[in-house]
Structure 1
Amino acid sequence: MTPRAFHTLPALRRAVRRLSAAHQLPIETRARLVLSVLTLADHDIEAGRPVTLEVAQEPGADQPAEFLAVALRTSRVCDQLPTNGLPLPAQTAPDGATVWRVPLPAKHVPHNAITPAETSATEIDALEDELRAALAREDALTAEHHRLKHELAETNSGVLALYVQLEERDEQLRTAHGQMLRELEDALRPSPITVDGLEFAVHYAPAGTAAPTGGDLYDWFSLPDGTVHITVVDALGHGVRSTRSALNVTHAVRTLALEGHPLHSIVERTNEILAPFDPELMATVLLARLHPASGLLQLANGSHPPALLLREDGTSQYLEARGRGVGYPLPGSETVREEQLNEGDLLILYTDGLTESRRDPREGEARLVTSALRHMHRPIGDIPGAIADDMHTVILHSDDTLALAVRRRPPGPTVTPERLVAAVPHSRSCRPAPR
């Protein structure tokens, strides 16, 4: 190695460029080496102290390629040199010198001497070469940046299009799923009945729109003697499983009623029939029987909220009947409540989702009376939905909701049931058609 001292930065710059050119280093590597050497030498040269530069070629450790070792010695100790962040990484030698080991090209002219530049033109040419290399590098990076942005834009466009397609497909599936469940829910509801002297309407709303079926179910039919039987069931839980439980209860009650079993025994007998098949079934039940001609109303209850009776004169009362529901300890109705339903009177049967939306049953029952009195003289098909709207202005406890209205009226011609299907989703209503 031939060390040489330098007292000025221009001389040092020219020397580093010349040795880089002599060893055919890439222009970018040359520029990084020049900047790194000058950065470390600047402090001493500005203070009037010379720096020493020496060059040697070193063989590679595991490969035939050689390295160009450029060592810079300054007056400062190695831990005082700002080697972090240099354009070209450096190492510290045991003797305190800063060393750059640069891989040499496969074909190069061996040259270890450090000589001054021959002419100023050589320095200018080197600067221009480095500038062109830097500009070419910048242009390449800019072109690559534009290409990546274009690819990213195309990818984002494709992802957005795929997302839109997935959203459309998901919406189609949700619509089809909802339609299927609504059709299923409609299939589970009994058809409107036509009874002279009575008019009926019902409103049903599930706890969630994602599952239009639930555990609130009703059934109505005429017995052989002309008496109308109504069943209201609220099975524990939500969704399809509770629907199945409620269906089992309504089917069992219908079978027992048509077989002629007394009203007071039906809740208990329903439990005896279903318990072996579904030990986890729990459901509240309200049974009502109404004779159209006489207006005699009978009620049997199994842990269900009481029916609400509104008189034509504006008075009202809850018709309590003690009992325990299907799946409860000691199931069955303890008594059968009897009342007289006069012309113009309105009977409201419901599930607890109507009155317990604010988690306070007593408040809910008071609000139900107020709402029912407000709407009792409206067309029968509007009453259950209007009451549900009043009761659900604030919902703190979401639950399936069923409201069923029965009004006694003078016998005679009226509108057919088909014209009275409520416009509210999941609602049904009917009035007696002319005989």
Structure 2
Amino acid sequence: MRPDLARIRRRLRTACTRAGVSADDRGRLVLAVTLLAEPALTAGETVDVATAASDRRLAVTVRLAHAVSQGSRDALPLLPERGDGDTLTWHLTGGRTGAPADPEPDDDWATREEMLALVARADTLAHEQRDLKHELAETNSGVLAMYVELEQRDEQLRRAHAAIFRELEDALRPRPPAVPGLELAVHYSPTDQDSPTGGDLYDWFVLPDGQLHVTLVDAVGHGVTSTRHALTVTHAIRTLALEGHPFPDLIAHASRTLAAIEPGLMATVLLARTDPATGHTRFANGGHPEPVLVTATDPARLLPPPVPGRGVGFPDPGSSELVEVELAEGDTVLLYTDGLVESRKDIDEGQHRLLALAAAERTRPVPGLPRELVTRMHDVVLHADDTVVLAVRRTPRP
């Protein structure tokens, strides 16, 4: 070992001993300074080492003839303060100050002591690492068990929600009534597939005289409030119809009745009433998209009222004039909400597509017709909205 290097090592050990620095910190400091000083001394450069002790603190400064990069500093066994340059500084914590020191420490003895301390420290770190791995494994096992449990609970909640939604669907969207001479079908497509609520609702029932009554409502707004408004309208019209109020007055009468109960309620309404014995069908339209008539041979066509009507909650509500058609056997009437024809943001283009598609599907069995229309019309969706499609086809009476 070069004399200068041995002198530097003795100086460092003496300072560490006086400051009460632990053997492992002392060993790492001596090794770090050796790694820096030995190449410099071999190259004939000067290495200046200074130490300064204060209350349980030791500062060691090494100044070289060349700058030491941060990468080289980070590779040392004891990291100095950050920064580039030719000066490196360490601050070590001691145990006690003023301790007597051997004026000529034995290099071999000190090296063995430092090595033993470093081995002990490495062993301690290994034990701590094994304990940490064990704790981490237990934690991971607990987290995995918790994750599995949460997944199971989430699946249970999904099943419960699905059951509740099915019950809501049955309550909000009644199944087609059995009407001899008529075949009925419906399909509902919500904006949000996880929620059955919305403002597009319908109602159909058979009157005491045997006629089929259909109510289709599209309440303004979204969510539960619009669902409540739509339910209020369908129940009001059902009550008025069963009480025998004239068919042309139902929309206006319902609007007047609900004005005091739900002042903010606004909804478009389409009413249809069909006599299954004759096929005679009347429509009362309160601001709703026009129904479509599909016959066996003629092109499909819209059934607009002579004078457009207004819905519930609008000024001057009601249907001023009715639309009347005679359904022959095999003829189909389609009632729908605007979500069917506005998926591409152009209602006129949507209605043209609907007419062409309805004519092409005129022979499709009624049970699958509404779903097929929705699927084909929603091939491109630029504007998502709740959609209801009802199909009424006259069939031969038994």
**Residue equivalent to 1:110:** 100
Letter in 1 for 2:326: Q
Paired residues for 1:186-225 under 5 Å: 186-225=170-209
Distance 2:171 2:49 in 1: 97
Report whether the alignment pairs 1:348 with 2:334.
yes
**Residue equivalent to 1:423:** none
Q: Which moved more, 1:293-302 or 1:368-377?
A: 368-377
Report whether the alignment pairs 1:243 with 2:227.
yes
SS of residue matched to 2:136: helix
SS of residue matched to 2:178: coil
CA gap of 1:22–1:71, structure 2 versus 1, over 3 A, is closer
Which string of whole-angstrom CA distances, capped at 9 and with x for unpartnered residues, describes residues 123-142 of structure 1? 33322222222222223223
**Residue equivalent to 1:291:** 275
Which string of whole-angstrom CA distances, capped at 9 and with x for unpartnered residues, describes residues 247-306 of structure 1? 111111112222222222211111111111112211110011111222211111011010
In structure 2, which of residues 8, 12, 17 is the aligned counterpart of residue 12 of structure 1?
8
CA drift of 1:232 comes to 0.8
What is the TM-score with the length of structure 1 in the denominator? 0.77
Distance 2:300 2:390 in 1: 16
CA gap of 1:114–1:406, structure 2 versus 1, over 3 A, is same
Letter in 2 for 1:185: E
Distance 1:229 1:53 in 2: 103
CA drift of 1:234 comes to 1.0
Fraction of identical pairs, as percent? 47
Paired residues for 1:149-188 under 5 Å: 149-188=133-172
Query: Contact between 2:293 and 2:300, CA under 8 Å: does it hold in 1?
Result: yes
CA drift of 1:410 comes to 1.7
Query: Contact between 1:200 and 1:380, CA under 8 Å: does it hold in 2?
Result: yes
Paired residues for 1:13-28 under 5 Å: 13-14=9-10, 16-17=12-13, 25-28=21-24
**Residue equivalent to 2:26:** 30
Letter in 2 for 1:381: P
Letter in 2 for 1:397: H
**Residue equivalent to 2:359:** 373
In structure 1, which of residues 370, 388, 393 is the aligned counterpart of residue 374 of structure 2?
388
Which string of whole-angstrom CA distances, capped at 9 and with x for unpartnered residues, describes residues 92-131 of structure 1? xxxxxx997863548x8624x633x5xxxx4333222222
Query: Contact between 1:41 and 1:51, CA under 8 Å: does it hold in 2?
Result: no
Letter in 2 for 1:148: L
In structure 1, which of residues 255, 265, 286 is the aligned counterpart of residue 249 of structure 2?
265
CA drift of 1:362 comes to 1.7
Distance 2:49 2:212 in 1: 114
| Bigger Rg, which one | 1
CA drift of 1:226 comes to 2.3
Query: Contact between 1:358 and 1:364, CA under 8 Å: does it hold in 2?
Result: yes
Which string of whole-angstrom CA distances, capped at 9 and with x for unpartnered residues, describes residues 403-426 of structure 1? 1111112210xxxxxxxxxxxxxx
Query: Contact between 1:44 and 1:74, CA under 8 Å: does it hold in 2?
Result: no
Distance 1:364 1:20 in 2: 88
Query: Contact between 1:306 and 1:320, CA under 8 Å: does it hold in 2?
Result: yes
CA gap of 1:23–1:411, structure 2 versus 1, over 3 A, is closer
**Residue equivalent to 1:63:** none
Report whether the alignment pairs 1:256 with 2:252.
no
CA gap of 1:245–1:16, structure 2 versus 1, over 3 A, is closer
CA gap of 1:385–1:393, structure 2 versus 1, over 3 A, is same
CA drift of 1:177 comes to 1.4
Gaps of 5+ in 1: 1-5, 61-65, 91-97, 413-435
Query: Contact between 2:21 and 2:92, CA under 8 Å: does it hold in 1?
Result: no
Distance 1:10 1:203 in 2: 93
Report whether the alignment pairs 1:130 with 2:114.
yes
SS of residue matched to 1:324: coil
Distance 1:199 1:73 in 2: 98
